[in-house]
Amino acid sequence: MAWDEKLNDVIKRAELVNKKLSSSGLSSQELQKYSKEFGTLEPMVKKIKQYQELVSNMNNAKQMLNDSDQEMAEMAKQEFETAKQELPVIEQELKIMMLPKDEADERNVIVEIRAGAGGDEAGLFAGEILRMYQRYAEIKGWKAEVIECNETDLGGYNFVSLEISGNNVYGTMKYESGGHRVQRIPETESGGRIHTSAATVAVLPEAEDVDINIDPSDLRIDTYRASGAGGQHVNTTDSAVRITHTPTGIVSQCQSGRSQHKNKDQAMKMLKTLLYDAKRQEAEKEMSDTRKSQVGSGDRSQRIKTYNFPERRVTDHRIGLTLYKLDKILNGEIDEMLEAIITHKQLEQLAQYGE
């Protein structure tokens, strides 16, 4: 399909959806569906009209380049050159806006953070990553809540899962999945040597009830007594819940709350998310085959980012981006890095679709 036809099809679809929204008799589900679609199409239509106006201006200016009035010809030349420079930029923006959308982008996420290689330092680093995402959620106006955690004696985490709710959370954070490496001198290091440790991150789009249909007979639910690092936060009742999905062997658990009922709800939410993630990975061949391959083993060599404390820098190895803003990034100011990798992935998609 020709480029101009694609653009006109978007405009026609937007007009049709807007007409449906104005009609009576829509169910709440239909209203939600069309409102969401129109919300996606409206900024595209604005950009298309901007593009078409620029093309029209450039064509008009081109016709006036040989005008007998020298002043008019000079003005036309300037307008033509300006439009010629702006056109490819807007066209690129349009192509990115028209890329196939991941239906999960708008969803909330569950972020799993695990300490990898590096012992106690890895656990402390996992805690810093947790706080970085909590602070980022606060900056974005999102809600962040720890679902489950396994603390270390030094105040770090062997494992922690965080639910983040808000607008377009998965679309913003999905490329954080992978190995994160830290290089620094531990406080316990008397010789001043730089140590390397790692943590892994998995960003999972949260499942909705319509995504996963679970047969209750496929579940094994166990309750047990919650425990914490160094004997802290130990409950005297069996409030912790572990749910096993027997057909797949996928396990989720929660012990963060004192209520068994709340822990069960959280564990079920996590189980649905894990099953939904497995379903997406199976359906989308470009994604990793398993959650384990997505996040890696936690070894130092399997990394997407390095946080170097002596040099106060953070490097994203996938795109070769280095920012000397370690303190700000660990304080949640990660938009610049997230936007850079998103743009890189979008350009890769454009190349894949032959644009």
Regarding whether 275 and 230 lie in a shared domain, the answer is yes
Regarding whether 274 and 230 lie in a shared domain, the answer is yes
Q: How many domains, in total, are found in the chain?
A: 3
Q: Which of residues 231, 258, 283 is at a domain's end?
A: 283
pLDDT tens-place string over residues 79-115: 999 999 999 999 999 999 988 888 899 999 999 999 9
Task: Tell me which of 27 and 173 has the higher pLDDT.
Answer: 173
Range of the domain at 57: 3-97
Regarding whether 310 and 192 lie in a shared domain, the answer is yes
pLDDT of 281 > 80? The answer is no
Regarding whether 234 and 194 lie in a shared domain, the answer is no
Residue 247: inside a domain, yes or no? Answer: yes
* pLDDT for position 190: 62
pLDDT of 352 > 80? The answer is no
Regarding whether 274 and 304 lie in a shared domain, the answer is no
Q: Tell me the CATH number at 279.
A: 3.30.160.20
pLDDT tens-place string over residues 120-159: 999 999 999 999 999 999 999 999 999 888 899 888 999 9
Residue 289: inside a domain, yes or no? Answer: no
Q: Which of residues 250, 283, 316 is at a domain's end?
A: 283
pLDDT of 30 > 50? The answer is yes
Residue 345: inside a domain, yes or no? Answer: yes
Regarding whether 242 and 179 lie in a shared domain, the answer is no
Regarding whether 34 and 11 lie in a shared domain, the answer is yes
pLDDT tens-place string over residues 199-247: 999 999 998 876 788 888 999 999 887 765 444 444 556 788 999 999 9
pLDDT of 354 > 60? The answer is no
Regarding whether 199 and 221 lie in a shared domain, the answer is no
The two beta strands, 250-254 and 240-245, are antiparallel
